Amino acid sequence: MPMSLSVRDRDRRLALGLWLSLGLLPVAIAARAEEPATLEVTIKDHRFAPAEPRVKAGKPAFLVVTNLDSTPEEFESRQLAIEKVIPPGAKARIRVRPLAPGRYEFIGEFHKGVAHGAILSE
Partner 1 sequence: MLAALVIVFREIIEAGLIVGIVLAATRGVPRRGLWVGYGVLAGTLGACLIAACAGRIAALFEGQGQELFNAGILVLAVGMLAWHNVWMASHGRVMAKEMREVGSAVAAGRKPLTALAIVCGVAVLREGSEIVLFLYSVAASGSTSLAAMAAGGALGLLGGACLSALMYLGLVTVPARHLFRVTSGLIILLAAGLAAQAIALIQQAGHLEVLTSTVWDSSWLLGDDSLGGRLVHTLIGYTARPNGAQIAVYLSTIVVIAGLMRLFPSLPAKVDRARTR
DSSP letter string, 73-113: EEEEETTTTEEEEE-TT-EEEEEE----SEEEEEEEGGGTT
Strand partners for 121: 55, 102
Q: Are 46 and 115 in contact (CB under 8 A)?
A: yes
From the list 9, 12, 17, 88, which residue makes contact with partner 1 (rule: CB under 8 A)?
Answer: 88
Q: Per CB under 8 A, does 105 bind partner 1?
A: no
Residues 71, 87: Cα–Cα separation, whole Å: 7
Shorter beta-carbon distance to partner 1: residue 5 or 68? 68
Nearest distance in Å: CB 56, partner 1: 16
Q: Per CB under 8 A, does 42 bind partner 1?
A: no
Say how many residues touch partner 1, by CB under 8 A: 36
Q: Per CB under 8 A, does 50 bind partner 1?
A: no
Q: Per CB under 8 A, does 73 bind partner 1?
A: yes
Nearest distance in Å: CB 43, partner 1: 11
Q: Per CB under 8 A, does 119 bind partner 1?
A: no
Residues 47, 54: Cα–Cα separation, whole Å: 17
Q: Per CB under 8 A, does 47 bind partner 1?
A: no
Q: Are 39 and 96 in contact (CB under 8 A)?
A: yes
Task: Return the DSSP state at 2.
Answer: G
Contact positions vs partner 1 (CB under 8 A) = 26, 29, 33, 46, 60, 62, 69-74, 78-79, 81-95, 97-98, 109-113
